[in-house]
Structure 1
Amino acid sequence: MAQSESPTRTVRSALTSIPESITCTEDYELIAREFIEPSIYAHIAGGSGRETTLKSNLEAYQNVRLMNRVLVDFTTATTRTRILNQEFRHPLLLGPVAFQKLVHPDGELASARAADALESGMISSTLSSYSLEEIATETSGHKWFQLYFQPGKADTLDLVRRAERSGYDTLVVTLDVPVRSGNRRAQAAGFVMPAHVQAVNLKHHSIPPQVSLNPDQSVIFQGIMSEAPTWSDLQWLIEETTLPVVVKGILNPMDACQAIACGASGVIVSNHGGRALDGVPSTLESLPAIREALGDGVAVLLDGGIRSGSDVFKAIALGADAVLIGRLPIYALAVAGAIGVAHLLRLFRDELELCMALTGCTTLEEINESCLIEGSAHVARR
């Protein structure tokens, strides 16, 4: 586990131009420490438990190798794709990251502007530091809303109706953190949520009464988990909205199949960026079995460990229709606001196109396991 940051380090303000030292997507992660207060950086960068899964998400991509091709005509090449009957310029979406005002005063508004400029989709978090309505006005592109089930159905439905009225295209329901795992790195750094950063989407929601427990009952089992959603809640939600629903937090093919049986339109293979149950597989190694279980007609997306355009390529080769990026855009936001996030997205797109050019893939549909060196797909599944 990484050591806690020095609390005395001087933090730089966000820049108004792109630093010359930024030459690839991963460079934003390298310099972000200069722009983010140490305890906040620990909160963002850290994972749960011993951070085994956090590390696995990154390492999985190093085990997959690519096969090049030559003399391919790229006159009509494109990265365009369709997901849930929505057209995207490239298979890259800004993932739902909470409380983005932690790193920049414009927070999610700046991220939305960047997504709009680069024709990228954005997924707004229930726990955003600007309202879902404010975020929606900043982009004319595809907007997805990430939903956490609330303790009361009325409050859950309120978020859904607000998203529908604000022009969101899709609901993304996160299901893998009914119980929060501790972020030891953030705890060691003394992270406390600043008073000016709040979950504004929830400010008018009612506070549920505390569950009364007998001495022989568990705070987790009979306490926290008594308010956790079930499959019937997911089915209720799907029946209550006209928007397609994508389930996030899937690692098990059985859960993927059950989500689709409930009426979900797709799944996001995710372990919450290594911030949920520590010790679960990386998302990349979980992906092929889920794609095989669901077949080709179901939308399958992935997050976790994406650090380059070649990582995007590898995820698509192993079964993803598109990917979500989470931490890197937050680092870019801290460094240079909206232009930083836009620049990061452009770098991702350029790196993906370079990878496609050198592997002979003129469209995303041509990216598959044949683009990987024999055995790489097996390694990814371990």
Structure 2
Amino acid sequence: MHRWFPNRDATFAAGLAGQVPRMPANPEHLEQAALEHLPAEVWSFIARGAGSGRTLAANRRAFNRWELVPRMLTGIDTADLTTKLFGTTLTAPLMLAPIGLAGLAHARGEAPAAQVVRDLGLGMILSNSSSLSLEEVAEEAPGANLWFQLHPPKSEALAVSMVQRAEKAGYQTIVVTIDSWTRGWRPADLDYAYDPFLRGHGMGTFLADPEFCRPLPSDVPHGSKEWNENLATRWREVFGHSHLSFDYLATLRTVTDLPILVKGVLHPDDADLAIEHGADGIVVSNHGGRQVDRSRAALDALPDVAARVAGRVPVLFDSGVRTGADASIALGLGADVVLLGRPWIYGLAIDGANGVRHVLEAVLAELELTVLMLGAGTVGELRRCVEPAYHARPREAGDTHHDRRPS
């Protein structure tokens, strides 16, 4: 059983020798530190959300509607965070969410993150818009618990090719993202006139696929203006399957035996439909606020979806998680595993593999300490420790002090 919070104690001990961490533990400071290591348009592409950013902000505010209620003198002095998912044991219920174009943050793309999750006994969902190919990431991190995210392309042949490549390369799960069949309205990207895909970024897995490359001219030098134009045209041709239905899951089932998860669920009825059509898991997510402005906060959707799923399949959660305490709330509201998104790419931008490790160890240390101080002992016991925040509870008749928490 891994212990995470001793890393905190080691930091304090190093402080006695005048050593301070290179990276901040505060997630807000981490985001700002990443700005110093990234071009403004790249930072904006990663950090900003759709429209006016209301959903991005709502994802964070939603955590304020819940509070953790510790129980004292339980006699618990160790926390068991281990979690089993699809036959694999994770040292904690935490994985890296899929984020594309990691090569914009670090020269080695997704490889350092994959190596860190392998070393920590966690897992990573690789974006199909990765800078490295899915094979390269697997080769760089042998033994890592890697899952493959599929944005269903218009071409069924391309989808089949990608899924079968992932299975052959050792990926353990296919995560079908259903909430981004077209790009969201993102004013920050428009203000910079910046679309990294049209500049040839995020094409690692595509360019390693014979089905994707088949129409590309073989006599045009890679990296030339003509090549980039052809690549952008081909990408536009295949990106975004606008006519998808839940029947798509049955199509995928004919080409792979891997577990299939559906990512982007906010409504309990969609969770039901996904399971009825063969989904092996649900990911509650609004794409980190990047797709639909004023969409429902993902955390607000989690309890209803988890209740409807009722343990039939695992429920994963992302969108808005920044800290171990955040993860505790999501786990307490029904998530089996929490996915961490933007913070890991910030860590990658600041200090490569060391930065990703720093971010994960900080979240894990706080998660472990939170579980211990709640008197929970295990992740499963968190569900008795999460309650609506006092200010968010329905006002009762005759309550004249509903806006103040009793002392």
Q: Aligning the two structures, in what range does the TM-score lie when normalised by the shorter sequence?
A: 0.7 to 0.9
Matched, 1:179 2:182: yes
**Distance 1:75-1:364 versus aligned 2 partners, 3 A rule:** same
Amino acid aligned to 1:82: K
Q: SS of 1:240's equivalent? A: coil
Q: SS of 2:174's equivalent? A: strand
TM-score of the two chains, using structure 1 as the length reference: 0.86
Matched, 1:312 2:327: yes
Gaps of 5+ in 1: 1-16, 210-223
Question: Residues 32-71 of structure 1 correspond to what in structure 2 (within 5 A)?
Answer: 32-71=34-73
Q: What is the distance in 1 between the residues matched to 2:293 and 2:53?
A: 6
Q: What is the distance in 2 between the residues matched to 1:68 and 1:372?
A: 11
Percent same amino acid among aligned pairs?
35
Offset at residue 83 of structure 1 (A): 1.8
Amino acid aligned to 1:29: E
Q: SS of 2:175's equivalent? A: strand
Tell me the equivalent position of 1:140: 143
Gaps of 5+ in 2: 1-18, 216-238, 395-407
Higher-Rg structure is: 2
Question: Residues 158-197 of structure 1 correspond to what in structure 2 (within 5 A)?
Answer: 158-193=161-196, 195=199, 197=201
Amino acid aligned to 1:296: G
Contact 1:117 1:342 in 2 (8 A): no
Q: What is the distance in 2 between the residues matched to 1:238 and 1:86?
A: 21
Q: What is the distance in 1 between the residues matched to 2:65 and 2:151?
A: 33
Offset at residue 103 of structure 1 (A): 1.0
Contact 1:146 1:172 in 2 (8 A): yes
Q: SS of 1:65's equivalent? A: strand
Q: What is the distance in 2 between the residues matched to 1:307 and 1:374?
A: 19
Tell me the equivalent position of 1:129: 131
User: Quick one: which of 198, 205, 211 aligns to 1:201?
Assistant: 205
Contact 2:151 2:240 in 1 (8 A): no
Tell me the equivalent position of 1:256: 271
Q: What is the distance in 2 between the residues matched to 1:225 and 1:307?
A: 29
Tell me the equivalent position of 2:32: 30
TM-score of the two chains, using structure 2 as the length reference: 0.81
Contact 2:154 2:240 in 1 (8 A): no
Offset at residue 371 of structure 1 (A): 3.5
Amino acid aligned to 2:206: L
Amino acid aligned to 1:229: L
Contact 2:50 2:186 in 1 (8 A): yes
User: Quick one: which of 366, 378, 382 aligns to 2:381?
Assistant: 366
Offset at residue 39 of structure 1 (A): 0.6
Q: What is the distance in 2 between the residues matched to 1:123 and 1:32?
A: 22
Q: What is the distance in 2 between the residues matched to 1:103 and 1:96?
A: 14
Residues 330-350 of structure 1: per-residue CA shift (max 9 Å, x gap): 100000001100111111110
Tell me the equivalent position of 1:157: 160
**Distance 1:309-1:225 versus aligned 2 partners, 3 A rule:** closer
Residues 330-379 of structure 1: per-residue CA shift (max 9 Å, x gap): 10000000110011111111000111111111001111044435768868
Tell me the equivalent position of 1:300: 315
**Distance 1:27-1:78 versus aligned 2 partners, 3 A rule:** farther
Contact 2:65 2:388 in 1 (8 A): no
Deviates most, 153-162 or 193-202: 193-202
Contact 1:272 1:304 in 2 (8 A): yes
Amino acid aligned to 1:85: G
Offset at residue 73 of structure 1 (A): 2.7
Q: What is the distance in 2 between the residues matched to 1:294 and 1:192?
A: 37
Offset at residue 145 of structure 1 (A): 0.4
Residues 285-317 of structure 1: per-residue CA shift (max 9 Å, x gap): 000110111102320001000010000000011
Offset at residue 326 of structure 1 (A): 1.1
How many residues of Structure 1 are paired with residues of Structure 2 in the alignment? 350
Structure with greater contact order relative to length (CA < 8 Å, sep ≥ 6): 1
Question: Residues 344-363 of structure 1 correspond to what in structure 2 (within 5 A)?
Answer: 344-363=359-378
Tell me the equivalent position of 1:232: 247
Contact 2:62 2:297 in 1 (8 A): yes
Amino acid aligned to 1:205: E
Q: SS of 1:159's equivalent? A: helix
Deviates most, 262-271 or 148-157: 148-157
Tell me the equivalent position of 1:278: 293
Offset at residue 164 of structure 1 (A): 0.6
User: Quick one: which of 111, 114, 124 aligns to 1:112?
Assistant: 114
